Amino acid sequence: MALRELASLEKYLGLKKPNKYSTQGDKKVPVLQNNDADPLVGLVTIACHLVKEAKRPELLGDGAEGRAVVQQWLEYRVTKLDSHTEDTKSILKDLNLYMQDRVYLAGNQLTLADVLMYYGIHSIILDLAVQEKEQYVNVARWFDHIQHHPGVRRHLPPVVVLRNRLYTSRHH
């Protein structure tokens, strides 16, 4: 899973030469063997490295505060979203509240946090019923926006998100 994500991220970033990855341990943690340096271990570490390699520093956040928020969501991705210890419903509920007044996870532009959270949450959103997508309306809107962002979707199938409300007129 993580290896396909890293391959998709390389393409999104426009990196010409695909890297070779291996995995480590039961949890299949991705490893990037660096030619001259020590190997890089872990999804977020490697993803940040690829962003720097592609010279796209804006994807790591704008200003000190923006960078901290991006790191916070990258951490959230690997600790809460990937661990499955947290209940899916409570993740969706928290994220829905957070996204109420936001278009992207950090600041007013797309960052690596949006891309990796989108890849990570895709299977959860794919399984939601139409009514549930409307219940977590802010998550659904953010997800639909990111999956239509040019070049991001790659290996993942599109998820149908209705653009008009069917069930209620309540706001949350």
Partner 1 sequence: EESGSMALNLTINSNNPPLGALLTAEHVKDTVQVSVEEGKDNSLHISDSVQFSDTNSISRYLARVAPALGLYGANMMEQTEVDHWLEFSARRLCDQPDLTLALGDLDKALSLRTFLVGHALTLADLSVWAALKDQSSWPSQSKAFPHVRRWFFFLNSQVPFSSVGSKYASKKP
Residues that bind partner 1 (CB under 8 A): 100-103, 108, 134, 137, 140-142, 144-145, 148-149, 161-165, 169, 171
Instruction: Report the distance separating Cα 82 and Cα 121, nearest Å.
Output: 9
Q: How far is CA 141 from CA 21, 108, 127, in A?
A: 33, 15, 16
CA 37 to chain centre: 27
Shortest CB 165 distance to partner 1, Å? 6
Shortest CB 74 distance to partner 1, Å? 22
Of 17 and 163, the one with the shorter C-beta distance to partner 1 is 163
| Neighbouring-strand partners of residue 30 | 23
Of 47 and 161, the one with the shorter C-beta distance to partner 1 is 161
Instruction: Report the distance separating Cα 166 and Cα 144, nearest Å.
Output: 17
Of 47 and 140, the one with the shorter C-beta distance to partner 1 is 140
Shortest CB 149 distance to partner 1, Å? 8
